[in-house]
Structure 1
């Protein structure tokens, strides 16, 4: 409830001067929080008492009640305590500059721009200054629209009753408390805060890189990231397969700085992604390639290994296998090793899937003589072991149709042959 000061009928009051406020009122006097309680009837006095420091930033105002006073008396009391009240034409007391709304704190990514707005009414001839409160002390940035600091990224503008501080291309050092201050006595001020957040980055020097291990080994991958807030780390496989920790445990993703895989198998080979996020875009990731070495494994794929071919024909023998690393692939005909220098054959070895270690080796042979038939072997070797597959090349069965000349009848028969017949005589 607002209570006006009581007016004495014995005093001539021109103009009428009434001070409105609820009691008690906390005010700022020369930087100290104080409480003004009342004016006594005769002579008029203003009682000022020290107040506990529990009302920082309280609005400067005055409460005068149940007293006999006139304009001169009120002025003298106010001047004695260095308080600034101005005469208001409507018969009240103008309290001078007043902050309309609190300063809204802002959170901005590093490299972007930040704005703080300080809305002041009844500013009159007073000026608004922006001050940075850092660990090294206070720095005056602007007064009105004039830039005091030598930082070219800082500017101040007036937008109606708002005094706007703008800082461009923010750095982490710009984070902190900013004070909007009016040069009254005592000064009036309010605070705002700029938080500068930093998107995540991954520290390559302390994070894992591509690695190669033998099958059955334990693997630990590390991913270090920095940013503000501190980033969270998520692990996934690039191919979408599940993360396998052991023979009975698999998950789609794993959270944490480290990823531990026990007794890895050949199926654990592939690319792993550590993804760092902290709510500040963009997220970043690092690709770590895990190569698991293992001995050769032949893939039979349902073939019996028996291949038929006609003499003077071409036979192709395909050997598929998984191995890492691939060291040697050899083809043998019986005990004899075959080499590409032989004009009657070709050997081609290609990778089908690098991640899984899948390979194919093809031997193509021109069967020119009966001795070209027989047993062929594909032999694969690496430091962890060896394996081979055997093929049997045999003569091919032909269907022979014989038509007797000048006869209405015909007949046919079959026989095994290593070559096609060029002619056949009947006796």
Structure 2
């Protein structure tokens, strides 16, 4: 028991190394590659190969994620598992040593290592497990968007920023009143941002950013209001936001 406690403390502070070939004396499968969609459940497979004996020894199942210094999941016998807070309520043991992750997230993507450690003295050098790479595909979502209504002065410039996240990385394009905008001195697009220079009354209207990938799309629209000679393009509405006269001017 003392030996197990000492070993348990040692593995808690062990650092997970990058994927590497297994040396002599160990049994490892070839790395696996698994793909899941955000929000779905996924199983990372890990086999337990017992020594040829009538009474298989007790063992500890550990799952590491590359880049995280301590195991994200540890299970021994009938004791409750130790689960990293990032996986709490989502990670459970499947079969003997496989890891089930529910509600997969984009940040779950990466390399995972399974280790199955036999605890009895005579099986000290008996190790098995596997490496698994998890890819989590996610539809585009916006992490930053301009306001729904934006009021600017005639002759000024404005930058509308749409920042999108997803896997694979989405492409952001801009439309004005449903027509795609190309890069011109008037309209400059850079990494999801649209800059409009020398704004005139003719520039008022609806601007839409669209983030697309093979996983789907996300759309956000902003209505640009233009002030000229101290008078708003929507008379009586001088504060950016929603108001009856602004809505009437759409």
Aligned match of 1:137:
70
Aligned match of 2:233:
324
Question: What CA deviation, in whole Å up to 9, does each residue of 1:321-370 have, x standing for no partner?
Answer: xx93457xxxxxxxxxxxxxxxxxxxxxxxxx945xxxxxxxxxxxxxxx
How many angstroms does 1:259 deviate by? 0.9
More strand by percentage: 1
Aligned match of 2:223:
289
Aligned match of 1:217:
156
Q: TM-score, normalised on structure 2? A: 0.59
Aligned match of 1:115:
43
Question: What CA deviation, in whole Å up to 9, does each residue of 1:393-416 have, x standing for no partner?
Answer: xxxxxxxxxxxxxxxxxxxxxxxx
**Equivalent of 2:93, from 145, 148, 155?**
155
Give the conservation status (yes or no) of the 8 Å contact 1:147–1:155.
no
Distance (whole Å) between structure 1 residues aligned to residue 183 and residue 134 of structure 2: 44
Give the conservation status (yes or no) of the 8 Å contact 2:201–2:228.
yes
Distance (whole Å) between structure 1 residues aligned to residue 163 and residue 89 of structure 2: 35
Distance (whole Å) between structure 2 residues aligned to residue 264 and residue 178 of structure 1: 56
Structure 1 unaligned spans of 5+ = 1-54, 62-97, 296-322, 328-352, 356-427
**Equivalent of 2:131, from 166, 191, 198?**
191
Structure 2 unaligned spans of 5+ = 1-19, 237-247
Give the conservation status (yes or no) of the 8 Å contact 1:113–1:169.
yes
Distance (whole Å) between structure 1 residues aligned to residue 226 and residue 72 of structure 2: 59
Larger RCO, structure (CA 8 Å, separation 6 or more): 2
Determine helix, strand or coil for the equivalent of 1:211. strand
Aligned match of 2:200:
265
Determine helix, strand or coil for the equivalent of 1:203. strand
Distance verdict in 2 for CA 1:232–1:127, change over 3 Å: farther
Distance (whole Å) between structure 2 residues aligned to residue 56 and residue 245 of structure 1: 53
Correspondences of 1:332-371 after superposition (within 5 Å): 354-355=249-250
Determine helix, strand or coil for the equivalent of 1:267. helix
Q: TM-score, normalised on structure 1? A: 0.38
Aligned match of 1:425:
none
Distance verdict in 2 for CA 1:244–1:117, change over 3 Å: closer
How many angstroms does 1:192 deviate by? 2.1
More helix by percentage: 2
Q: How many residues align?
A: 202
- Residue 104 (structure 2) pairs with residue 170 (structure 1): yes
Which structure: larger Rg?
A: 1
Distance verdict in 2 for CA 1:262–1:173, change over 3 Å: closer
Distance verdict in 2 for CA 1:286–1:292, change over 3 Å: same
Distance (whole Å) between structure 2 residues aligned to residue 128 and residue 272 of structure 1: 60
Correspondences of 1:10-89 after superposition (within 5 Å): 56-60=21-25
Aligned match of 1:365:
none
Distance (whole Å) between structure 1 residues aligned to residue 70 and residue 166 of structure 2: 26
Distance (whole Å) between structure 2 residues aligned to residue 210 and residue 203 of structure 1: 18
Distance (whole Å) between structure 2 residues aligned to residue 147 and residue 181 of structure 1: 17
